[in-house]
Every structure is written in structure tokens, then in C-alpha cells.
Amino acid sequence: MTKNLPPISKEYKKQVTNSILFIILFFFIYLLLIFLSLVLVAAIGYLVYAIISNLKFNYLVILVCGGLIGMGVFILIFLVKFIFNFQKNDTSAYIEIKRNTEPELFKLIDEVVNEVGTEQPKKVFLSNDVNAFVNYNSTFWSMFLPVKKNLTIGMGLINTTTVSELKAILAHEFGHFSQKSMKVGSYVNQANKMIYDMLYNNKDLTDYMDKFASAHAIIAIFTKFAVWFIMGIQWILAKFYDFLYLKHMSLSRQMEFNADAIATYVVGSEVKSASLLRLDLSDAALGNSLNFYLDKNVNADTKNIYQNQTTLLHYLSKENNHEVKNGLPYINENELDRYNKSKLQIEDQWASHPTIQQRITAIKKLNIPSENIDSRLAKNIVKQFDQYAEKFTDKLFEYNMLTHTGNYLTEQEFEENYKNLLAEKSFPKIFNSYYDVKNPVCEDFDKIKSELLHSEKLNISKNELFDDEKVSLIFEKNALDSDSKVLEMIQKKTYKLKTFDYDGVKYTQKQTSKAQKILSDRMFIIDNEIKKNDDQIFKFIYQNATTEQKLKFSDLVENFTKADKEFDDYFNAFQAFVPYLDFMSQRMEISDIMRNRNILLPKENIFKGKIKELITSHFGKYMQIEDKQILDEYVDADHLYFEHNTYNNNEIERLNTALGKYQEVLSSGYFKMKKEVLNLMEEILQN
């Protein structure tokens, strides 16, 4: 039975009206272009007829007539080729399921279809990820003809939701198609695809035109005329594309709100919110499970990666102090913004979805009670869940070029191995994320040590130095840095918008400097507070260290502070060098390749000098022997990259390998130095 669905919002009606008006305008201009092109083709046909009728039939006449006809045909093909495009959704990575093998899951789908008031899906597929979507094979004619849609449900989603939460997500997906006004979104999308196709999807047509033009110089002239005409049409369409795309995104965001509202009317605000809030954690648990096996230091295997996902879901939940309900972590909406300290609010015009926080706010506002909640795990209604899980595990291994080793871990072993691997790649918990986005550098460590000689012992606890209030300062500073860059873009009109909110106050683009003043004043206060706390940290650590630890701590901090500056220098050298390689990935004349190659070689010698410095620097101490070998071989080699009118692929491969190794050595060395400092600080704090 269809439930009473929510009324369409005023904002959605406004976006639909705007979109319809713009679609009408677009199709008017498009049909005008078609008409003008047909007039041109007709004129060309008449001109060809006149030439044949009035001139003696010879080779030159054939070339001219052929060139004219080709010009008209190419222009017409350019304007109508999208009609014949068929966008078929690739389902090779999915597993199709049937009603007779999964009756309970199809029963849930039936409930959603009936309550939302939409059509049954043509087919139902399972995918490997944490997602669900409804789609269909798209053509130009799908705008006007009814199209059966397929439903795809992710195994990672089924594995981490309750039955009612899965129902909420399916109701959202079917909600996109439950009301007639939602059809407008497909029209806007198709118009957007048409323009995109004519602007950017012309390789086949260009290849045909090149072949046609190569037949004769006269034909090439007429082909050039066709190219100019097509470029003129593209110039007109390009003016529409950004605006139409923005309309599409604005409408898409409202469609998400509307689909959320439909799902909320089906399952209630509590269930719908819970299903949304856990998605990121579920995705992280599955992604981290796969990354575990991708790590080159791991020699382990699994038959069912979704069991690993469950293990990590509970581990991450425990680490983040999430409440557990019905065997799954319950994420509080307040936890979404724990580290988001930005005071700048700008609607992302290019986003297809609202933020999770915006969606949750809208769902809560509906205040629909959740009744008849089915708290069973969703995977319990999928009869062959484990068989599907093993098949998708094999697929994930295959896609990521992993081979089964047969070294299968129990879930307890997997968790322990994961925790050990995580410990190697993360910083000690004792710092409460204080150093996750900042570094233990100290420009005036000698001054701090000198002050300690003439001061009493600090009357402060280690917990005060890294409490939530201090950590909040770090994340606020990061947010201020980010907001400052955006405000600068707004002021320079790089970021085009009329108004924005900063700290709850609305500003126009011309008032940006006022917001910047508020931000810089706050930044000054924050910087001083962080500096004060950092000094306290270094003093506290140094005071509580043994004599041996003091010497080691001084060396590590001073070396890391130097390395922090050197990192920027090495990274900038890499950034400066890489653009000189761009010509290798472009099609150009041999003379242009040689010219670019000759510019590259002296620049490469400068970069090689930087690599030599890197090898003998602090970073070199943390370098593996094989890494040093790769960089040494590259530095010592005399590569030309292009000679005898061809590229030397072996030399280019060595170059790319060395560049990748350079970045790896730089980032891993920096991380290891930072971790070494923090590990010693942890040791001192604990003892």
C-alpha cells in the first residue's frame, strides 16, 4: 500500500521551473542550430547541383563537389550523432540475484516499491561496495519512452545495516522515480549529456574528418571549413554547458532532499538518520580491510572480506567511543563535526549531493516517528550472503591484482595484525590527535632549554597538554588556514559567488575584507595559544626526560625541524621539474619533441643534483638499500629519451620509477622522522 508521501518542497518546485525554462531555451537554440545546418546542407546540395550542371565533369569538379558534400555531412553528423549513442551500464562486476533464490530480500524490495509507489526493478544486482543505486541504459530516446530500471545493492551496505535501515536506503533510491516531477531531472541530465557529447566526445568524428581531409588538398580545405563551423557551434554550446550543469547540480541536490523525505515517510526520521550516519564508517571499514591485504608487508589471506569489514567496523567504533545498538555502531550526528572547525559556509554549486549534515537536519525537521522497526542485521535476509561474499572477495582480489596465499587469518588474528600495521602507520594515542595535522617542530629549542635552567618545575599534567580543548585549537587553525585561502579566492573573484556566511554573518563579495579581518584576528589569538602550549609541551617533556633521553630528544627535534624545512625544498624541486616532462604524453611534431627534449635535459641535471642532496640528507638515513640503488642508477644514467625519431620506452620507464621513488622516499622519510620524535615523547610521558 502506497504511503502518504511528502509534498514537493517550494525550493524543489523552483528548481524544476528554472530547469524546464532552461531546457526549453536550450532545445530552441539547438533546433535553431539544426535548422541553420540543414539550410547550409541544402545550400551546399544546390551548389553541388549547380556546379555539376554548369561545369564540365572532371577530376577537379569531383574534388570540389566531394569536399562540399563532406563538409555538410560532417556538420550534420556532429549535431545529431548523440541521438545514436547508447550508454549501456556495465554489469560484469555484479552478481544478478533472482526472486526464487532470495525471497526475503525481494519481499523487502516489494514493500519499498508498494509504499513508495513506483515500478518494480527490471533486474536486481549485488555489487561489492557500500552503496545502492537505481539506473538504466540511457539513450536520447529514454527521455520520451518508458525505461525499466535496475536496482544494485552493495554487499558492504547489506553487511552493515539493519533491515529497516536497508529499507530506508532503498526507499531513497526508488524515491527518485516515485513522483512525476522527478522526471525533469532526467531531461536536464540528458540535455547536459548532449552538450557534453558535442563538446568533448568527438574523437571518432575527428578521425573520420582527418582521413577524409588526407585524400586531397582541396578536400582538406572544405574539411577545414567544417571544423570552423563546428567550432562555432561548440563556442555557443560551451556558453550553455556550465550554466546547464549548475542547474543540473542544483536540481540534483533538491532531488536528494526530496528522496530523503520520501524514505523518511516510509521508515521514520530515526531509522533514516541512522542509515546515513553510519555510511562513512562502513565504507572506511571495508576500504581499510582491502588496504590491509594490499600492504606489501602483509602475507595474509581471507575468503570473506565482509567478515573483516564487520571486525573493523566494531574496532573503529570502539576506538571512537561509538555507542552500539542492535549489533551495529550508532553514530551521533554531533560527531560529524568533531574536527570541522570552519566558520565559512558556502553552498557548493558544483556538488550533486547536499552534505550529510544538511540531509540529517532536513530529516530531523520532518520529525516522523520510526515504527515497526526491524532491527535484524540486513545480511540475515540474504539467504546466500556468505556465498556472494566469497565471490566478491575473489573479484576484489582479482581487480586489485592480489593472489590468494592460503594463509587465512581468524577474525581475532586479522584484528591483531591490523592493529599492529596501524600502529606502524599512525602516531601514539597519548597525543589525542594533537600531532595528526601538525608537526613537533621547534625553532627555538635552545631558548626553551635555557629557560628551564632558571625556572621551577612546571606544575601541569600531561593530560592537560593534549586535552580536547588543545586539540581543538589545532583543527581550528587548519580550518582558519583553509577559510583564509577561500576568502582570498572570493576577493579576487576566482571563486565566483554573490554572498557567503562567515561565523553566522552574511557578507557580499565586496565585504570579503571584513570577514578576512575577523579571521586574521582569530588566527593571531590561535597561533599564540598553540605556541604557548607547544612551548609547555617541549618544556614538560625535557624536564621529565632522563639525561640520555634529553640528549636524544634534542637531536631528534633539531633534526626534524631542519627536515621540515628541507621537505618543502625537495618537494618544490620535484614540482618545478615535472612540467618539463609533459611533452612526452602529447602528440606533436618531431621537431617540437626534440626542442622540448633539449629544454628538459639541463633541467633534469638540476633535479638530479637535488636527488644527490636527498640521498645524503636526513631523509637518506631512512632510505632502503634498493631505493637508493634506483635513485643512484637514475642519477648516473645519461638518458636522451628520444632519438632516431622514436621514444626510448626503457629510459622513460626508469625516469618514472625514479620519480615515484623520490616521492616515496621523501614522504616515508618525513613520516619516520616524525614518528621517531613522537615515540620518544610517548616513552618519556609514560615513564
- pTM for the model stands at 0.80
Q: Is 131 strand, coil or helix? A: coil
**HEC profile for 191-205?**
HHHHHHHHHHCCHHH
Delimit the domains of the chain by residue range.
10-85+192-242, 426-544, 563-676
Q: Tell me, rounded to whole angstroms, the distance of Cα 417 from its chain centroid.
A: 28
Question: Tens digit of pLDDT for each residue in 182-203?
Answer: 566 666 666 777 777 777 777 7
304 neighbors 389 (Cβ within 8 angstroms): yes
65 neighbors 48 (Cβ within 8 angstroms): yes
Place of cell 582491502: 290
> How far is residue 266's CA from residue 262's CA, in Å, rounded to a whole number?
7
HSE on the CB side for 668, CA within 13 Å? 13
Q: Which secondary structure element, helix H or strand E, spans residue 665, and what is its range?
A: helix 649-686
Return the bridge partners of 506, or none: 501
* Closest CA relative to residue 230, chosen from 459, 399, 74: 74
E strands along 107-196, which residues?
Answer: 124-127, 132-135, 138-139, 150-154
> How far is residue 675's CA from residue 354's CA, in Å, rounded to a whole number?
37
528-532, long-range: CB < 8 A, 24+ apart: 529/473, 530/438, 530/473, 530/474, 530/477
E strands along 377-504, which residues?
Answer: 499-502
Position 410 scores a pLDDT of 94
| Grid cell of 181 as nine digits | 516531477
| Grid cell of 476 as nine digits | 581550528
In the predicted model, residues of the chain with pLDDT beneath 70 are 1-4, 82-89, 136-147, 178-190, 336-341, 347-352
268 neighbors 171 (Cβ within 8 angstroms): no
Position 572 scores a pLDDT of 95
* Closest CA relative to residue 268, chosen from 165, 175, 114: 165
Position 85 scores a pLDDT of 63
Q: What is the four-CA torsion angle of 451, 457, 460, 463, rounded to 10 degrees?
A: 90
Question: Tens digit of pLDDT for each residue in 610-639?
Answer: 999 999 998 988 899 999 999 999 999 999
Count of Cβ atoms closer than 10 Å to residue 445 Cβ: 17
Question: Tens digit of pLDDT for each residue in 318-356?
Answer: 988 888 988 999 988 777 666 666 777 776 555 667 888
> How far is residue 626's CA from residue 623's CA, in Å, rounded to a whole number?
8
Q: Tell me, rounded to whole angstroms, the distance of Cα 227 from its chain centroid.
A: 35
Handedness of CA 433, 435, 436, 437 (dihedral sign): positive
385 neighbors 284 (Cβ within 8 angstroms): no
| Grid cell of 645 as nine digits | 625519431
Largest alpha-carbon pair distance within the chain?
Answer: 110
Count of Cβ atoms closer than 10 Å to residue 184 Cβ: 18
